[in-house]
Amino acid sequence: MQTTFTPEQLKSPAIQRSNEILRACVHCGFCTATCPTYQVLGDELDSPRGRIYLIKDMLENDRDPDAKTVKHIDRCLSCLACMTTCPSGVHYMHLVDHARDYIEQRYKRPFSDRALRWVLARILPYPMRFRVALLGAKIGRPFARFMPDARLRAMLEMAPKTIPPVSRNDDPQSFAPQGTRKKRVALMTGCAQKALNTDINDATIRLLTRMGCEVVVAEGAGCCGALTHHMGKTTESHATAARNIKAWCAEMDGKGLDAIVINTSGCGTTVKDYGHMFRNDPLAADAARVSAIARDVSEVLMDLGDPHEGGEARQPAKDDIAGIDAREPSKPAHHGMVVAYHAACSLQHGQQIKTFPKDLLKRAGFTVVEPADSHLCCGSAGTYNLMQPEISKQLKDRKIKTLQAKNPDVIAAGNIGCMMQIGSAAGIPVVHTVELLDWASGGPKPPSLNAEIGSKPPIPMLR
């Protein structure tokens, strides 16, 4: 694609990067075949190719964004399926991130949009604020249908029925490995996940320590900045990201780290991009160090090997026995359980990790199935399901239909947003991949698989 940026414009590092990306595009249109919003809406401007044209026109002409341009860019999920499909290597993620930052600076949204984005940016990245908001949403949920704004209805409807108690395992501390130490890793405990589902981090810590990792929750680390970054609120996102960089570098420069483990793939995609985000910042070198050792939990688990090697085989707990063939009393309860694996976009497209979670589940004894069109987004996409609820619902319904068609016992995913989105209507237990792997290698049965009400302890214990 030819571009006409002036030498003056190209002095901007952001314009330089966008120019490189735009010039890589050859207009082939392969991206339209895998773009969820194009499939749902059928509008060329709601495809990556269409959005690229809009962004190019806006940036080249140095013009203030208009409502039409903003509408179509806002409708982008940032699922990055287009990047997986693109034969020319167009880095759409960096381009659309730049466009959103540009829009945030130069476009005045309607008051309701500004208010919603302000609220989301000041609640979701802060676990305690989010807990309070969830409690309010839980109270208001019965009245959701009376809300005039579809986005407010979506916020109330997405509130979970139960809010888990705070897990003290998320506090800054260190967990000793079982047996010989193989790695020292920092666990990113996140923000929204700590309010929505504390089982994920607890299971991750149990699993990693069982496999020989010293697990550190670093003092000062928190939200990765993804939620505000994808809203174009660059100053806010960089502030939270900078805190993480400083916290993890302190550990790297102290006792050292072999990896920064991330069990929410949306966060992982952002942390792995810190080197780019801070490329022109005084923190550039440290940001690059952090990105270099950031790993999805599945990457670390694959590197560690089989948790049963050199150790004792797992003995199923009494409450796991139901469903085991009486002729095979020693077979673990999970063996052969059918798991429908949902591939989060941020994992399969953003990080290009496609087989590790499935390989780990199969190795642990689960039967893994995948839904049709597994490359398509479920419609969660960070805050997308709250800001674009109509499109999000169509994508959710499609995803749930394909998952249910596999008739699984459980659905597994590697991202809390996807878990909440699918779990809100699937009618099938939805758990994180690490919860199943933890259970299979000696940990407790995932609470969401227990039929007994109140079976979950007040504060999940590490085992």
Task: State what percent of residues in the chain have pLDDT above 70.
Answer: 92
CA–CA distances in Å: residue 397 to residues 113, 150, 380, 391, 426: 25, 17, 12, 10, 9
How many residues in total does the chain contain? 463
Give per-residue burial for 218-244: e unless 16+ CB within 10 Å, then b. Answer: beebbbbbbbbbbbbbbebbbebbbeb
* Residue pLDDT, tens place only, 313-330: 344 343 433 332 333 445
* Residues facing residue 184 across a β-bridge: 214
Structure tokens at 180: 């010989």
How many other C-beta atoms lie within 10 A of the C-beta of residue 408? 21
Handedness of CA 242, 96, 153, 424 (dihedral sign): negative
Strand partners, 340: 369, 411
| DSSP 3-state of 411 | strand
Residue among 186, 310, 175, 190 at smallest CA distance from 248: 186
What tokens appear for 76 in the block? 């982008």
Question: Residue 211: helix, strand or coil by DSSP?
Answer: coil
The helix (run of H) or strand (run of E) holding residue 433 is: helix 433-440
Question: Would you call 369 helix, strand, or coil by DSSP?
Answer: strand
Predicted confidence (pLDDT) per residue in 134-162, tens digit: 888 777 777 777 777 788 777 777 777 78
Q: Name which of 342, 339, 403 is nearest 365 in CA terms.
A: 339
Predicted confidence at residue 145, as pLDDT, reads 74
Q: What is the pTM of this model?
A: 0.89
Q: Which amino acid appears at position 128 of this protein?
A: M
Q: Identify which of 38, 21, 36, 37 has the alpha carbon closest to the alpha carbon of residue 88.
A: 21
Res 332: pLDDT: 73
- Residues in the chain predicted with pLDDT less than 50, given as ranges, are 310-329, 452-460, 463
Structure tokens at 302: 């694959």
Q: What is each CA distance from 314 to 211, 302, 311, 318, 443, in whole angstroms?
A: 13, 19, 9, 13, 9
> Do 295 and 262 form a contact (C-beta atoms < 8 A)?
yes
* Residue 175 per-residue DSSP state: E
Task: Give the span between the Cα atoms of 36 and 203, in whole angstroms.
Answer: 32
Look up residue 260 and give its two tokens: 């920064």
Query: Residue 404 in contact with residue 427, Cβ under 8 Å?
Result: yes
How far is Cα 403 from Cα 408, in angstroms, rounded to an integer? 8
Helices (H) and strands (E) in the chain, counts: 23, 9
Cβ within 8 Å of residue 170, ≥6 positions away: 189, 194, 198, 201, 217
Residue 123: DSSP 8-state: H
